[in-house]
Structure 1
């Protein structure tokens, strides 16, 4: 997070970070790893948004990791060098193919399926 704040986005007043719900992905983790003043300085520029719990199928990173696992890591790879080369080749092929996630439901269907993840609206829809 320090790298995001100090190196990649030093001019940004607010940096929005999307994370899953892993216990180390919390503001408290920065206080455990850094002096309090440094953690406070970094957290003052960050805004955390978390993916829905129990909905890993909505997390595009987890989807890609699953594809990597099935297409590339589905067997024993003998050495670290071979692993790095195979993953790099898979990544290049995946990026060059223009692979995309094609959501198969509408926003309305998602709201029904994920009712707990959506806040209740008091406004009437037209």
Structure 2
């Protein structure tokens, strides 16, 4: 199945590694007053946690088809991809993801096969035979460049996903820090409101220019010296002691 001249969407798909806690502070935060800082309650009541899975549109610079669920297993990620594809069912889709196991699970393969019109009976069974047998065989199917819907698995330690990680950092700092949420639904609604605000007023494409080339001056990064190694050089040790006494 060769991709034609239809629209092709490219997304960085990522989920927040840790669950977001819906914590409610047991006392109301008191705002600052002249000569007195704000006072914030440190005790809180837990109302559960949610997980955010989002797509970063590389060209538009926006979060797209964000999913907020209570769990984050293979089925959750497959449902997230299904929700994303449903926004433009006839288009071509390229999802750039990391090497998490749930990004190449059996439910995802079955979803893509269904979208491509492939008979599910030809996929085999997990840990037995066929496309579904191993993680390697599933990745080979999902990364097939002839498919209208395909995945790109980034090498470890690559920087491309840093784009959407930066956006998640903004969400945590501006929507969650010092927040108080009465329930999981309250947390979900506030996250959705902030993401909508972000797309309208803050989002913009990132100029991700790093190409992986070597720098002109390659300086070897040395590990910090141990105490014993530092004491062997009298001059450096004396300077270090002088700084320590000064502080």
Tell whether the structures are fold-level matches, with TM greater than 0.5: yes
Cα distance in 2 for partners of 1:87, 1:36 equals 40
Cα distance in 2 for partners of 1:32, 1:77 equals 33
TM-score (norm 2): 0.33
Cα distance in 1 for partners of 2:188, 2:94 equals 30
Moved more, 62-71 or 75-84: 75-84
Deviation at 1:37, TM superposition (A): 2.5
TM-score (norm 1): 0.55
| Equivalent of 1:48 in 151, 154, 158 | 151
| SS of equivalent to 2:181 | coil
Which residue matches 2:189?
Answer: 85
Cα distance in 1 for partners of 2:108, 2:197 equals 39
Cα RMSD after superposing both structures: 4.0
Give the helix-richer structure, 1 or 2: 1
4+ residue runs over 6 A deviation: none
8 Å CA contact 2:94, 2:150 repeated in 1:
yes
| Equivalent of 1:25 in 88, 92, 103 | 103
Structure 2 runs not aligned, ≥5 long: 1-77, 111-119, 125-130, 132-140, 216-247
Give the strand-richer structure, 1 or 2: 2
Which residue matches 2:173?
Answer: 70
Higher gyration radius (CA): 2
| Equivalent of 1:3 in 61, 82, 91 | 82
| SS of equivalent to 1:112 | coil
